Amino acid sequence: MRVQNPIIWADFPDPDVIRVGDTFYMVTTTMFVTPGGPILKSKDLCHWEIVSYIFDIIEDNDIYQLKNGKNAYGKGQWATSLKYYQGMYYACFVCNDMHRTYIYYTDDIEKSGWNRYVIEGIYHDMSFLFDNGKPYLIYNCGDVRIAELKDDLSGVKEGGINQLLFSTPSENMRLRCEGCRAYRINGYYYLLFIEWPSDGHGRRRVICYRSKDLLGEYERKILLDDDMGYHNQGIAQGAIIDTPDGKWYSILFQDHGAVGRIPYLLPVSWSNEWPVPGIDGKVPESFDIPFERYEAKPLIISDSFNHDEDKMDLRWQWNHNAERGCWSFVEHPGYLRLRTQSLAKDILSARNTLTQRTAGPKCAFTVELETEGMKAGDYAGLAAFQSNYGIVGVKADDSGSKRIVIAKKDSDVQQRDEEYALLAGECIFLKIAFDFENSRDMAMFYFSKDGIGWTKIGSNLHMLYTLDVFTGYRIGIFYYAEKEIGGYADFRNFRYEAV
C-alpha cells in the first residue's frame, strides 16, 4: 500500500500510538471540546477512524460550562500518554486549568467513558513507562523528571522514585525538550521529545535521549529536523511503534496554519541502536508500507440529523460541556433542535455549539436552518470557529424581522455584524467554504433560498491559528440568545464536501 503524507490533513495533534495484536490505537488532543480524548483505530497506520472517547466531560464547573466569564480555551485535555499494560488501557493527561493530572483506565478501549484517578498537581507532557512491573511517569519541560506511581496507578507512590532525570540544553532554545514519549526497547530506555532551537534551522525537531540505566546517564541525539518545505514548521512530537513483523514507524505532527496540527507517517530504521525516522533525514512525501488498506470510517461526516434517538455520532463534539436538555433529534423529527437556557455575548461565550474538524486542502459545509422559534436578539447559523471567527446565519431583531448576517471577530475586536439581508420566510440554507491550500487560510460565506443557487455574503475571513484557543478551525452549528432565553432553532441536512 502506498502512503501519502500527510496521512490526515486535519487537526489531530500530540499523537500517541500503541499496538495491541494487529490493531493500532492512537490518542490525540481536542482540548476543551467534549466528549474528549478521542481514540482512533487503524490496521494500516495510515487510515484511521474514531472508535471512542476517554471522557464525556472532564469537570462540570464554571470553566467547562462557560459560566461567569470562565472558559477552558487553550486548556483542557492535551498531550495524552496512552499505554496497554497487563490487560488494561491507560491514558494520562494534565489539565492546566484544574492544576490536576488525570489517569483514565479501561479494559475496553473501544468503549467511551473510562474510569479515572485524579492526581493533584501538574505532570506536564508526561509519558507512561512500565518497567520491571513498576509504573512511572516521565514528565516536564527542560528539567526532565520521573515519578513512580502506585501499583494500581491511582497516584504517585509515597517513598517511590521521584527525582530529576536530567536537564536539557537551554542556550539558544525557544522551547526546551517536552512532549515525552518513553520506551524500553532491547535493553535501552528511549525518551523522545521535541525541542525548538533559535539557531540552526530554528524549527521544532525530534530529540532522543537513551540510557541502559533508567536513572543513569543519558545520551542525546537529534533524530529529525525537517519541514517538508512548509514555512519552516518542523515535523515533530509523536510516537514510534512496531508492527507484528518487527518493522518500525513513527507518527509525528506539523503546525499547518489555520487547519491545525496535522499528522505524518514515517518509516523508522535503526542505526547503532538509535531510531532513525524518515528517509535520509527527510519526511517522505510517499512510500510503500506492507499493509492492506484499512477501510476506516471517515473522520468528518455529513449528517441528515434524522435520528430516532438523542445520540450524537462520534465525529461531533461540543464546544465545552453541552447544556442538558438543550438539544434533541426527536423533539422535531428529522432536525437537530437547539434551545437556549443561558445568555451569551458572542459565539465564544455561547454554549451548545456543535463542532467538527475542517480539512485541507479545501472543504465546504452546508446546512438548512429553520428560524420560526427564534426570539429577538438570537443568532443561529454556521461558524468558522476559532478565536478569530466568522459566522453566517440569521439574527432576529426587536421588530420581529430576521436578517441574514455575517459577523466576525478579529484579534482584539469584539464581534461585529458585517452585512445584512432581510430573510424572506423562515427557512435559509447556509454555507462556509474553507481554503487551506498553499497557506491561503480563507473562509468564504454564502446563503441560499433553495440550497442550489448560492449568494456570497460579506468579505472573506482570513483565518489565523491562535494559541488562546489552540485548535484548528472547526465548523460549528450554533444558536445563542443575547436578550431572552427559551427560543429554539432547527437544523437539518448538514453536508460536508471535500473539495
Find the CATH number of the domain harbouring 457.
2.60.120.200
> Which tens digits make up the pLDDT trace of 418-435?
878 899 899 999 999 999
Q: What per-residue confidence (pLDDT) applies to 417? A: 84
Per the structure block, which three cell numbers stand in for 34? 467534549
**Distance from first CA to last CA of the chain, Å, rounded?**
24
Residues 96-111, mean pLDDT to the nearest whole number: 97
DSSP states of 318-347: EEBSPPTTSEESTTTTTSEEEE-SSB-SSG
Identify whether 309 is part of a domain.
no
280 is catalytic: no
Q: How many whole angstroms separate alpha carbon 62 and alpha carbon 298?
A: 34
292 counts as catalytic: no
The count of structural domains within the chain is 2
Q: Which of 11, 16, 178, 225 is catalytic?
A: 178
When the pLDDT of each residue in the chain is averaged and rounded to a whole number, the result is 97
CA atoms of 418 and 430, how far apart (whole Å): 16
In this prediction, what percent of the chain has a pLDDT beyond 70?
Answer: 99
Closest CA to 254 of 434, 55, 73, 14: 14
Share of the chain above pLDDT 90, in %: 96
Same domain, 434 and 476: yes
Q: Tell me how far CA of residue 233 lies from CA of 2, 215, 229, 282, 448, in angstroms.
A: 24, 33, 8, 13, 39
Q: Do 323 and 267 share a structural domain?
A: no
**CA-based nearest residue to 392, from 289, 478, 492:** 478
**Are 280 and 371 in the same domain?**
no
Q: What is the CATH number of the domain that holds 237?
A: 2.115.10.20
Residues 366-388 have a mean pLDDT of: 97
- Enumerate the β-bridge partners of residue 19: 24
Q: Which of 14, 225, 370, 378 is the catalytic position?
A: 14
Q: What is the pLDDT of residue 411?
A: 67
Q: Is residue 128 part of a domain?
A: yes
pLDDT per position as a tens digit, 30-48: 999 999 999 999 999 999 9
Specify whether 182 is located in the same domain as 73.
yes
Whole-number Cα distances in Å, 477 to 76, 223, 227 = 21, 42, 34
Indicate the residue type of 367.
V
HEC string of 381-426 equals EEEEECCCCEEEEEEECCCCCEEEEEEECCCCCCCEEEEEEECCCC
The residue among 268, 288, 308 that closes a domain is: 288
Phi then psi for residue 129, to 5 deg, are -140, 120
- Per-residue confidence (pLDDT) for residue 420, from 0 to 100: 84
Do residues 322 and 283 share a domain? no
pLDDT score for 419: 78
Average pLDDT over residues 337-346: 96
Is residue 302, in this structure, part of any structural domain at all?
Answer: no
Looking at the structure, do residues 260 and 345 belong to the same domain, yes or no? Answer: no
The set of residues, in sequence order, having a beta carbon less than 8 Å from that of 189 and lying 6+ positions away, is: 129, 131, 182, 183, 210, 211, 212, 213, 214, 218
Q: What is the DSSP string of 199-244?
A: STT-S-EEEEEEESSTTS--EEEEEE---TTSTT---EEEEEEE-T
Task: Give yes or no: residues 233 and 354 share one domain.
Answer: no
Chain centre distance of CA 342: 26
pTM: 0.97
Contact 471, 11 (CB under 8 A): yes
Residue 57 lies in a domain: yes
3 state DSSP class of 63: helix
| Residues 283, 322 within the same domain | no
Q: Which domain holds residue 359?
A: 317-498
Confirm whether 304 is domain-assigned. no
The pLDDT assigned to 483 comes to 96
Q: What is the largest CA-CA distance in the chain?
A: 76
Residue carrying the nine cell digits 540510557: 211
The residue from 251, 269, 288 where one domain ends is 288
Q: How far is residue 428 from each of residues 50, 264, 424, 474, measured CA to CA in Å?
A: 32, 39, 9, 21
Residue 125 and residue 16 share a domain:
yes
Q: What is the pLDDT of residues 281-328, one digit of tens each?
A: 999 999 999 999 999 999 999 999 999 999 999 999 999 999 989 999
User: Is 9 domain-assigned?
Assistant: yes
| Residue 397 lies inside a defined structural domain of this protein | yes
Predicted confidence (pLDDT) per residue in 167-193, tens digit: 999 999 999 999 999 999 999 999 999
Position 416 pLDDT exceeds 90: no
pLDDT at 395: 96
What pLDDT, on the 0 to 100 scale, is given for residue 412? 63
Please determine, for residue 222, whether its predicted confidence score (pLDDT) is greater than 90. Answer: yes
Model confidence over 245-260: pLDDT tens digits?
999 999 999 999 999 9
437/343 same-domain check: yes
Rounded alpha-carbon distances, angstroms, from residue 265 to 50, 60, 257, 361: 18, 36, 19, 18
Q: Are residues 194 and 280 in the same domain?
A: yes
Q: What is the per-residue pLDDT for 4?
A: 98
Task: Determine, yes or no, domain membership for 295.
Answer: no
Specify which residues 276 forms β-bridges with: 269
Q: Is 481 exposed, middle or buried (0-12, 13-18, 19+ CB in 10 A)?
A: buried
> For residues 406 and 384, what is the distance between their CA atoms, to the nearest angstrom?
11
Whether residues 391 and 257 share a domain: the answer is: no
**Gap between the Cα atoms of 108 and 89, Å rounded:** 7
